[in-house]
Each structure stands twice: as structure tokens, then as C-alpha cells.
Amino acid sequence: MVMQLPLTRPAAPVFERSEGYWSSVFRRLRRDRVAVAALAVILAIVAVALLADYVAPADPYRGATLRRLRPIGTAGFPLGTDELGRDMLSRLIHGARWSLLMGVTPVLVAFVLGSAAGILAGFAGGRINTVIMRSVDVLYAFPSVLLAVALSGALGAGLGNALLSLTIVFVPPIVRVAEAVTTQVRGRDYVEAARASGAGAFTIVRVHVLGNVLGPIFVYATGLVSVSMILASGLSFLGLGVRPPEPEWGLMLNTLRTAIYVNPWVAALPGVMIFVTSIAFNLFSDGLRSAMDVKR
């Protein structure tokens, strides 16, 4: 009943590998000028942070009372000096290390913990979901700034405690996003199709849930990096995070606050860096979000 066509297969089949998921994401990302610019800024800051010892023109810790609060453009101190006469440029460069550490680490740890808990809650459903989500809601009830400050205050000042409290602040929103996306994916036809073709719960989570869920969570987490940097700066500003004389941007903003009437431009520099870095992370996260939307 079906017509048999004289089918001859070509001797060498034309085998053209279509691009993978990530390379197509990358291709779309490359066309997005804002995202590329944001990524360039992030990479530049990361590079400077890594190479701080070689890039910085002076010792960020050595000050001199005689050359305090020099304005931007002073010979030998392109970005001026701070209230103790330390070279601002070198301090900003070294500060990138601290600020990136404070911005990225809590988000990364929270990403791992939050995704695991959220995916478990979303996939298991029922009572497990209730237990996880309601516990998360307890933390969610506090404004994030307040929670970070309260936790840091309770745990005591210091870098480790600041990182810990920031991590705790970021777990709940990531759990929520992970749970929401997982619940959505769990109800999709392809999960039922996988079940119908004999996949166990573990295979379904590993292949279908992770594959579809990690992307959106990752995008969300990227956006949190800027929040984390700002919160970390806030903690340092309050004396709960990095301690002097370390050159962390938030801390620098705090100590330079007194000089704002003497030399406002220099005093604003750490704030400018926080602003630029966090906006770069935000714009990059936006670009990534639209690039990862496969169906466009």
C-alpha cells in the first residue's frame, strides 16, 4: 500500500554535526553586545584580581601621613591616596580579590545547596516538599540585608562568618527558584515519556530534571552575585565582614566616608567599583537568560 521508492543511499552520507546546546547559547550570547561588554568587564576585573600583585603599582598597605587624601591625577598616584596615604589604585586592585571572593563564594555554595534542596523538594513533592519549603519560608520572612547583618552579628565579625551568613541568606531564594522550576519540569510530558520508556526516578532526575533545571537556576544565581557583593560591602562597612587594613571595597567606602567633604571623588571610587562590577554581573545574567531560551 505504500509506494516503494527506489531509494539509493549515497556512498558517503553527508554527516554534518549540528551545534550543541552550549555552543548555540554561546553563539546567541556573542550577538548580544551588552552581554559581551558586561562579560568583558567581569573578565577584566577577574584578571586584575588574579594578577593584583603584578598589576598594582604600589603596596596597598603602605601609607604615609604626609600624602593623605591626594586628589585623582596626582603624580605617582593616578587615583589619589586614601585617608592613610595609601595608593588608591593599588588598593582598588587588591580589593577586587576580596570583593569577588565575597560576591561569588556565597552564591556558589548557595547554588549547590539550594539547587539540591529545591530539586529534591520539587521532585519528591508531598510531605518532603512541605518540610523543605516551609523551613525555607522561615528564613525568607526576614529582609535579606537584615538577615545577613543579624547572622553576622550573632556569629561574630570576620570573613568566614560573613561568608557563612551570606550563604544562608542566598539559599532560600535559590531553593524557591529550583523548586518552582523542578515542579514545572516534573509535570512535563517528556518526564512522563521517560517514565513510559522505563526510566527510574534517578535517571529522570539526572537526565531530564537536571538538564532542564540547572540553566534557569544558574541564570538566577548569576544575578545574585551583584547582590552578594553589595551585601558583603555592607557587612564590611558595618565592620562585620573583612577587617582593616584589608582593602575590601565596602570597607574602603566606610573608612573613606570621613573624607567625603575633603576629597569626594576619591571617596566615591570604591562605590564606583562596586557599582560597575555588580551591574556587569546583572547585565551578563540578563544576556545569559535570553541566550539560554532555546525556543527563540
Residue among 200, 244, 245, 264 that touches other proteins (CB under 8 A): 200
| Binding pattern for the stretch 173-192 against other proteins, x by CB under 8 A and - elsewhere | ---------------xxx-x
The least CB distance from residue 43 to other proteins, in Å, is: 26
The region that residue 145 occupies, defined by phi over 0 for left and psi between -120 and 50 for alpha, beta otherwise, is alpha
* Residue list 28-87, contact with other proteins (CB under 8 A): none
- DSSP character at residue 209: I
Contact between 237 and 254 under an 8 Å Cβ cutoff? The reply is yes
Q: Which is nearer to other proteins, 11 or 196 (CB)?
A: 196
Q: Which long-range contacts (CB under 8 A, 24 or more apart) does 43-47 make?
A: 45/96, 45/100, 45/277, 45/280, 46/96, 46/100
The least CB distance from residue 294 to other proteins, in Å, is: 6
The least CB distance from residue 127 to other proteins, in Å, is: 11
What is the C-alpha to C-alpha distance for residues 167 and 183, in angstroms, rounded to an integer? 24
- DSSP character at residue 207: I
Contacts with other proteins: how many residues (CB under 8 A)? 30
Q: Which is nearer to other proteins, 25 or 267 (CB)?
A: 25
Note whether 127 binds other proteins by CB under 8 A: no
Q: Which is nearer to other proteins, 50 or 294 (CB)?
A: 294
- The amino acid that residue 130 corresponds to is T
* Residue list 97-126, contact with other proteins (CB under 8 A): 126
The least CB distance from residue 209 to other proteins, in Å, is: 10
Q: Which is nearer to other proteins, 67 or 195 (CB)?
A: 195
Q: Which is nearer to other proteins, 138 or 196 (CB)?
A: 196
The least CB distance from residue 125 to other proteins, in Å, is: 9
The least CB distance from residue 39 to other proteins, in Å, is: 22
User: What distances in angstroms separate CA 221 from CA 86, 123, 203, one per listed residue?
Assistant: 35, 20, 25
Note whether 203 binds other proteins by CB under 8 A: yes
The least CB distance from residue 113 to other proteins, in Å, is: 23
Q: Which is nearer to other proteins, 102 or 292 (CB)?
A: 292
The number of C-alpha atoms within 13 Å of 192 and in the hemisphere containing its C-beta is 4
Q: Which long-range contacts (CB under 8 A, 24 or more apart) does 290-295 make?
A: 290/28, 290/32, 291/25, 291/26, 291/28, 291/29, 291/32, 291/35, 292/25, 292/215, 292/216, 292/219, 294/21, 294/24
The least CB distance from residue 108 to other proteins, in Å, is: 22
Note whether 196 binds other proteins by CB under 8 A: yes
What is the C-alpha to C-alpha distance for residues 229 and 40, in angstroms, rounded to an integer? 18
- The amino acid that residue 92 corresponds to is L
The string of DSSP letters for 193-206 reads HHHHTT--HHHIII
Residues that bind other proteins (CB under 8 A): 1-2, 13-18, 21, 126, 188-190, 192-200, 203, 207-208, 211-212, 215, 294-295
